[in-house]
Amino acid sequence: MSAFRLNTSELWLEANHRYLMQEIARVRQALQTKSDQLNDGILSSFALDFFPNRNGLGLPKDPPISPPPLLEQICQNFGLSTFERDVVLLCAGMEFDSTWGVLCAAAQGNPQLNYPTFSLALAILPNGHWGALTPDSPLRRWRLIEVCEGISLTTSLLRIDERILHYLRGIHYLDERLAGIEEPMPTSGLLVPSHQQLVQQITTTWLQVTEGQLPVVQLCGEDVTSKRAIAHSVCHQLGIKLHALSGEAIPTDTAQLNLVKTLYEREWALSHTALLLNCDHLETNDPLKESAIARLIESLTSPLIVTSRDRRRQRQRPLIAMDVHHPTTDEQRLIWKNALGEMSQNLTHEVDVLVSHFNLSAPAIHAICLTAKGMKGEIGGEGDTPIQNPKSKIQNQLWDICCIQARPRLDELAQRIDVAATWDDLVLPEKERNILREVSAHVRQRMKVYETWGFAGKSRRGLGISALFAGASGTGKTMAAEVLGSELRLDVYRIDLSSVVSKYIGETEKNLRRVFDAAEGGGAILLFDEADALFGKRSEVKDSHDRHANIEVSYLLQRMESYRGLAILTTNLKSALDQAFLRRIRFIVQFPFPDATQRALIWERIFPKQMPTEKLDFKKLAKLNVAGGNIRSIALNAAFLAADAGESVQMKHLLQAAKSEYVKLERPLTDIEVKGWV
C-alpha cells in the first residue's frame, strides 16, 4: 500500500509539473508574440526550442488531475484574478528558463529591462488591471511576488517569492523567515483522559465555526509539556500542522510584526499550518513586547493556540481559556504503572507514596523511570544481580529522582536549604516537639486520609498543610523545618517574604503565584521567612493600598490551603498577627527562648563528634543568656580560633567568641554569665 501511495504521489507531482510548464509556455508565447512585433521575428526560432511540447503549439492539454495543480490551489486560496495568475507565471518563468531574460528584454524593447516588470505584464497579458500593482492586492499583500527597488514602480524588477516558487514545484517547507525564529515542536505523547477531554472540547469548538475567525484557544497552567501535547493532538485530529513560536521572538517593530503575521497566514493557506504561541516563560514588563503580542493575537486570521501560565486579558477577539492541570491522582498512578512496566507489580504501595507527595506530568514520570532503570545494578531489572531489599532500594531511588526532577524551577525562585538536622539536634519542650511530629504525620498520611478514606470528597477546601512557627530569632524555627525535611525526605526552600512583597499592586500575588506553582510538582516544604513583612493586624481600609494589602494576605493563605505540600510561616511576633488569619493555619508552634537546662543541651549537641574539645563545662556555658542560633555562632567562631591556634576547642576560645557575638548583639557580657570560664 505504501509503495502504491508513493507511486501515486510521484505521478501527481509529474502531472503538476507538466501543467506548470504548459502554463509558463503559454505566457512565453505571449512574450514571444510581443517580441516578434518589436523585432520582426528575429527571436522566434530561438524561442521555440525551450518548450518543444508546450501548449499553444497545437498539442493537446493533459487531462485534469486531482487534487488540482498547485498553481490553481494558489489562485483559489489567495483569490487571484487571471491577470494576477499570469503575473505569477511571468515571474516563475524567469526561474525555470535561462533565456527568459532575453525574451523580456526583447518584448520591452530595452536590453536593460531583461526581467519581468508590471509594465511588461500589462503589455503582453490579457485582462490586465492596474489594481494588481497596489500594496493591498493579493500579489503584494500575500507576498507572492517581490517588487525590487527601481526608478519607477512599473519598471521595477518583479521576482517570485522563493517559498511560492518551490511550492509550485511541489516542494513544501516552512518559510525560512519563520523557521529562523521558531522553536522546536516535539512530537506528542499519549494524553491522559482529563487532557483528552480538553482536546475533544477544543476540536469540537473549532469545527463548529463555519465563518469568520476561529476563536483563540488559551491553555493556562504550569504543565508546559501537557499543554503542547494537547495542542499537537488537536491539530492532529483536525488534519493540520502545528508550529511553535516563542513570545520572546515576536518583533516589536510594526513592519516586522506585520511580516510575521502575513507569513503565518500565508502558511495556513499554503499548507494548513496552525500556530502555537508560547508565552509560558515570558516574563517581561516591556510594554512594547506586550503590545506586539496582543496585536498578533488580535489580528492573526489563521488558527492560534496560546500557552501561558496565567490567563491573558481578553480584548475584542473571542478567546477561550482552559486550565490544564497536572494529571489526576488516578491518572498519575496509571502513568507510573505503565512507565515502570513489570517492576510496578511489586511496587503498588511505593507508587501510592510517590503519587501522594509528587504532582508530576506524564513526561516527567517517564523521565524519572528511565533514569532509575538506567542505574545499572541499582534496580533489579533484567540481567541485574539480585540486591538486598530491592523494593526499598527502588523506592528510595525513585523518591530521590522525583525530588531532583522538581528542583530546577524552584531553585530560581527560592533558596534550597541542605537538610542535615535531626530530632536529636532540636531542643524544644515536649509539647512543641509533639506538634511537629503531628505535622510530619499529616504530610505522610495525607493520601490515605484525603483519597483512600475519602476526606477530600467532602470538600477540596483547606486540604493544604500549613504551619506557623513563632518565636524570637535563633530559637530553632528554621532548624525545625530542616528536621521535618530530613524526616520526610523532602526539599526545604526558604522564601524571604520581605523580598516577595512589592509596593506595586498585583506584583506580590504574582511573585507568590510563581513560587507556589513551581513548588506544586515536587511537594517541597516551603518556609516563608519573615511573615511580619506581609502579615499584621487587619488594617482599616482607607484607600486602595490598604485594601490590596489585605488581598495579598488572603491570597497567600488561600494558596497555602490548596498547596499539596507543607507550607510554613515564621514570625518573631505572633501577637502582631490577625486572629482571623491565625484561624486559617492548621498548626501553630511557639518556639520559646531556651532556659538554662535547654541551653546546656544545645551546647552538648552543638559540637560535631570529630571535633577535638578539652574541658568544656556545659553548665557554665549555659549561663550565657542567648538563643540556639547565637550558641551555634559562638561555637563555630571558637572552632576557627582553636584551629588557627593549633589547639582543641577550650573555654578560652569560647569566651573570646562569646565576646565577639555580644558585640554583634550590642549587649554587654556580664561577669555572672562568664564567671569561672577560665
| pLDDT tens digits, 550-600 | 677 778 888 888 888 899 999 887 776 767 777 888 999 999 999 999 999
Look up cell 518584448; give the residue: 107
208 pLDDT higher than 60: yes
Q: What's the confidence (pLDDT) of residue 326?
A: 84
The model's confidence at residue 284, banded by pLDDT at 50, 70 and 90, is low
Tell me: the pLDDT tens digits for 53-89?
Answer: 444 444 456 678 888 999 999 999 999 999 999 999 9
DSSP state of 453: S
What number is the average pLDDT over the span 83-99? 95
User: Mean pLDDT, the chain, as a whole number?
Assistant: 85
The contacts of residue 333 (CB under 8 Å, 6+ apart) are 351, 352, 355
DSSP state of 131: G
Q: Read off the pTM.
A: 0.76
The pairing of beta strand 415-417 with beta strand 492-496? antiparallel
138 pLDDT higher than 90: yes
Which domains does the chain carry?
2-173 (no CATH), 177-323 (3.40.50.300), 329-395 (no CATH), 423-591 (3.40.50.300), 596-674 (1.10.8.60)
Q: Which of 315, 224, 297, 290 is nearest to 260 (CA)?
A: 297
The model's confidence at residue 376, banded by pLDDT at 50, 70 and 90, is very low
What is each CA distance from 217 to 184, 227, 306, 493, in whole angstroms? 20, 11, 6, 35
Q: Could you give the CA distance from residue 530 to residue 551 in angstroms, rounded to a whole number?
A: 18
Q: Could you give the CA distance from residue 280 to residue 409 in angstroms, rounded to a whole number?
A: 13
Q: Could you give the CA distance from residue 654 to residue 281 in angstroms, rounded to a whole number?
A: 51
**Strand ranges in 587-643 using DSSP code E only, listed in sequence order:** 587-591
123-157 core/surface letters (b: 16 or more CB in 10 A; e: else) = bbbeebeeebbeeebbbbebbbbbbeeeeeeebbb
The contacts of residue 511 (CB under 8 Å, 6+ apart) are 500, 502
Polymer length of the chain: 678
Q: Could you give the CA distance from residue 122 to residue 87 in angstroms, rounded to a whole number?
A: 9
What number is the average pLDDT over the span 137-161? 94
Q: What's the confidence (pLDDT) of residue 55?
A: 45
Q: Could you give the CA distance from residue 125 to residue 27 in angstroms, rounded to a whole number?
A: 8
380 pLDDT higher than 50: no
Q: Could you give the CA distance from residue 353 to residue 300 in angstroms, rounded to a whole number?
A: 47
What number is the average pLDDT over the span 508-520? 82
